[in-house]
Structure 1
Amino acid sequence: MTSHLLEVSAYDAAGYSPVVNFQTWRVAMLNYIDELEPDKIDNFQCHNETDEVFVLQSGKCILFCAELDIKNNIIDIISWDMEINKTYNIKRGIYHTHTLSEDGKVLIVENSDTNDANSPSIIIDDTIRHQLVNITSELWG
């Protein structure tokens, strides 16, 4: 719904979609998508020019952040089992990924020009993927 007073947006499909763009910022929604199951995650991404804020709206979401060595190899994974209505600010330059429960919905706030050109990824192997599966199993049972 849009009027000259208010714009109301929603996104209920699978995956990520911007819902509001204004000047230098955007609000997006991330809903469960099977490619974010821990055994299917294939990369960690960072944003070189912006922090990124996550707010869990419903369901469950785990944020994974990677600590890297000097050669950009993942040496440790730190995880947060998000709580509903708390803000989680991933700082600029930190490699991260996430997994959501099937009812998971996350609000994301980031710079409007965040894209693949300023957000490099690290492709992960089965060893790292197995760690994500184990962390998820430990946190969610």
Structure 2
Amino acid sequence: MDKNLLEITGYDGEGYVPLIDYSHWRVAELRYCEELEVDKLKDMQKHDETDEVFVLLEGDFTLFLGGNGEHIGEIEAIKLEPLKLYNVKRGTYHTHTPEKNSTVLIVENVDTTDDNSPKEKLTLEQKKIIEKLYKEVNS
């Protein structure tokens, strides 16, 4: 197949990896990685310049939201359903826990970096809330 006509790519490792960048957008894949286990989460991040779309392709994946204020606010959790699009709006604090069996497709702006995506450390109380919510949505 002519690579000028069709680009075929995939990923079967752990963690996050961009797969295709084009013009202003990026498609990436996120899979299990130890640092995102619910009891190891350390912070939430927000993207100041873009929304971020998550699509669960297979497995189990929990998304945590922390509001869109200057700092992390009320924390909510949702267990993603396969093949539905979840659009985390620009400026919304979020983090996630992909399980070992999960594959998640991510679509975001190609220029999404740590420079325009500030992180805020989770407090001990926020970590406890996240663990409690995780148990509730995964029971």
Higher strand share: 1
Please name the residue that 2:122 is paired with.
Answer: 124
Q: Give the gaps of 5 or more residues in structure 2.
A: none
> How large is the RMSD of aligned CA atoms in angstroms?
1.5
Q: Give the deviation of 1:132 after TM superposition.
A: 1.2
Deviations 1:93-125 (A, max 9, x none): 000001111111110000000000000011112
Counterparts of residues 1-141 of structure 1 (less than 5 Å)? 3-67=3-67, 72=71, 74-141=72-139
Q: Give the deviation of 1:2 after TM superposition.
A: 6.6
Percent identity among equivalent residues?
A: 43
Q: Which amino acid aligns with 2:109?
A: N
Q: Give the gaps of 5 or more residues in structure 1.
A: none
Q: Which amino acid aligns with 2:73?
A: I
Q: Go from structure 1 to structure 2 and tell me whether the alpha carbon gap of 1:130 and 1:4 turns closer, same or farther (over 3 Å shift).
A: same
TM-score by length of 1: 0.93
Runs of 4+ in 1 over 3 A off after TM superposition: none
Size of the aligned set, in residue pairs, is 139
2:21 and 2:32 mapped to 1: Cα distance? 22
* 2:77 and 2:134 in contact (8 A); partners too: no
TM-score by length of 2: 0.94
SS of the residue aligned with 1:132? Answer: helix
Q: Which amino acid aligns with 2:35?
A: E
* 1:68 and 1:76 in contact (8 A); partners too: no
